[in-house]
Amino acid sequence: MPIRVTIWNEFVHEQTNEAVAKLYPGGIHGVVADMLAEQLGDDVQTHTATLDEPQHGLTEEVLDQTDVLTWWGHAAHDRVDDAIVDRVQRRVLQGMGLVCMHSAHASKIFQRMLGTSCMLRWREAAERERIWVVDPSHPIAEGIENEFFELPHTEMYGEFFDIPAPDELIFISWFEGGEVFRSGCVFRRGKGKVFYFRPGHETFPIYYDANVRRVLANGVRYVQPAGARFHGEGRNIPEPLEPIEAEHEVDQSLHE
Count the site residues for Zn ion by CB under 5 A.
3
Q: What is the DSSP string of 22-89?
A: HHSTTHHHHHHHHHHHHHHGGGEEEEEEETTSGGGG--HHHHHT-SEEEEE-SS-GGGS-HHHHHHHH
Q: Give the shortest CB-89-to-Zn ion separation in angstroms.
A: 24
Q: Give the shortest CB-204-to-Zn ion separation in angstroms.
A: 8
Rule CB under 5 A: which of 80-119 touch Zn ion? 103
Residue with smaller CB distance to Zn ion, 10 or 155: 155
- Binding part of the chain for Zn ion, among 26-34, 156-164, 193-201, 248-256 by CB under 5 A, reads 193-201
Q: Give the shortest CB-33-to-Zn ion separation in angstroms.
A: 20
Q: Give the shortest CB-200-to-Zn ion separation in angstroms.
A: 6
E strand or H helix that includes residue 98: strand 97-101
Q: Give the shortest CB-155-to-Zn ion separation in angstroms.
A: 4
Residue with smaller CB distance to Zn ion, 67 or 155: 155
Q: Give the shortest CB-122-to-Zn ion separation in angstroms.
A: 7
Residue with smaller CB distance to Zn ion, 48 or 103: 103
Q: Give the shortest CB-203-to-Zn ion separation in angstroms.
A: 8
Contact 220, 3 (CB under 8 A): yes
Rule CB under 5 A: which of 144-173 touch Zn ion? 155
Q: Is 198 in the site for Zn ion (CB under 5 A)?
A: no
Contact 166, 233 (CB under 8 A): no
Coil, strand, or helix at residue 10? coil
Single-letter code of the amino acid located at 52: D
Contact 91, 66 (CB under 8 A): yes
Residue with smaller CB distance to Zn ion, 14 or 155: 155
Coil, strand, or helix at residue 2? coil
Residue with smaller CB distance to Zn ion, 4 or 201: 201
Q: Which residues share a beta bridge with 236? A: none
Residue with smaller CB distance to Zn ion, 166 or 200: 200
CA distances from 185 to 88, 120, 141 (A): 19, 15, 11
Omega before 160 cis (within 30°)? yes
Q: Which of 29, 105, 201, 221 binds Zn ion (CB under 5 A)?
A: 201
Residue of 109, 40, 103 whose CA lies nearest to 81 = 109
Residue with smaller CB distance to Zn ion, 31 or 92: 31
Q: Which residues bind Zn ion (CB under 5 A)?
A: 103, 155, 201
